[in-house]
Amino acid sequence: MERFSHLKDVHALLDEVLLQARRLTRADAGSIYLIQNKVLDFSYIHNDTLFGASGVNRYLYANHTLPVDQHSLAGYVALTGKPLIIDDVYQLPGGTPFTFNDAFDQSSGYRTRSVLAAPLVTGNQKTVGVIEIINPLTEDRQASIFTSGDLLLLYYFADHAAAAIERAMLTQEIILRMIKMCELRDPRETGAHANRVGAYAAEVFHQWALKKGIADDDIKRDKDLLRIAAMLHDLGKVAISDLILRKPDRLDSEEFRIMQSHTIQGARLFQNQESALDVLGAEIALNHHEKWDGTGYPGKIDDIYQDQFPVGAGKQGEEIPIAARIVALADVYDALVTRRAYKSPWSETMTLNYIKDQSGKHFDPEVVEAFLAIYEVIDAIRAKYQQQDSSSRLTASL
């Protein structure tokens, strides 16, 4: 349970909660649903049979919700607050007050059998979600069923995990409110954009780190911090004049120089560096417009806290922190494929051709390689947050 207190990002926390719950019960798979806007949001999934234990997969970003009702196991548990233990979901007795939703099995080809489900209830009796553990295995990976002892373990575990999940959700909400503050100044900076860039960056980093042979624990730790820090990459725009942020035409040279300073202003917001997240947030804010070939900005600056900060020669190659190199690609990709007030979205083909062309120029070639290797996941992330972006535009137009 102590490990939960060190995780700041809700996605990293859900990953750890699910991993530990599965270890306790020897489960092959599992999922967590969080209650969002009075429905259950399919928020995290593990499945060793389908995905393996350490890779990335598009199902993490499935845009899927369930009503809080009796038409699914998770809905019933959320509705009643009662845990469930089922030997075979396809052989439910007559008169059972809930049904099994087999949509995931149908789409993936997986066969769910034994299920253990428990509500995630905080100390003040608020249900924040449901954890489902699926298909326990024996030591030689033969199919088994859950026991009453497993149910007691999961119920106890869920009781402690719920408080940590609620804290992480609060942290995420605070971050999104900060981004909404930016949105008041610059309507191009939306919560959906920040969520996409954070998720793209986290998964590209995961793939890049796996290729580098970085240890799993180090990947999880850095991925946790990177997702949050990446979401705050453009926070420095709060210091830029509305006349520049909202200008519909191309910026002149002086206006562009001022706009470039948002990187420095953003890094300054992390001046009192009390944590690894502060350090990473400053690195990304300052360097996410640097380019692999040295033609980016703001360049090498001795002291970003000076009143005057002359732009220096651009950083290049590995002088740019890896987190910033990853966010640079994530940010550009999202800008290209997203409709903005000043441009139509680029097609997928145009966007991917541009990214490939800019490998070794704008972008780190290894980062481009990692991005393309998990493009199915990138596409799932974009789809998940597309609706959120549409809602944001609709609100802005009213």
At 339-349, the pLDDT tens digits run 876 678 999 99
At 134-158, the pLDDT tens digits run 999 998 889 999 999 999 999 888 8
In the chain, the domains with their CATH numbers are 2-168 (3.30.450.40), 186-397 (1.10.3210.10)
At 209-232, the pLDDT tens digits run 999 999 988 998 899 899 999 999
In the block, residue with structure tokens 């990953």: 15
Say which DSSP state 135 is in: E
Residue 5's pLDDT is 56
Q: Is there a catalytic annotation at residue 237?
A: yes
At 305-321, the pLDDT tens digits run 887 766 678 999 999 99
Q: Please pick, among 237, 291, 315, 384, the residue that the annotation labels catalytic.
A: 237
For residue 256, give both structure tokens. Answer: 């562009």
Q: Which residues contact 106 (CB under 8 A, 6 or more apart)?
A: none
Cross-strand bridge partners of residue 4: none
pTM to 2 decimal places: 0.85
Residue 272's pLDDT is 85
Nearest to 58 by CA among 363, 374, 354, 270: 374
pLDDT averaged over every residue in the chain: 88
For residue 133, give both structure tokens. Answer: 């553990």
At 68-108, the pLDDT tens digits run 999 999 999 999 999 999 999 999 999 999 999 898 899 88
Strand order in the sheet with 127-136: 65-67, 39-47, 27-36, 127-136, 115-121, 84-86
Residue 285's pLDDT is 97
Q: Where are the alpha helices (DSSP H) in the chain?
A: 10-25, 48-51, 73-80, 103-108, 148-185, 191-212, 216-231, 242-245, 253-260, 262-268, 276-287, 322-337, 348-357, 365-373, 375-397
Nearest to 192 by CA among 398, 42, 396: 396
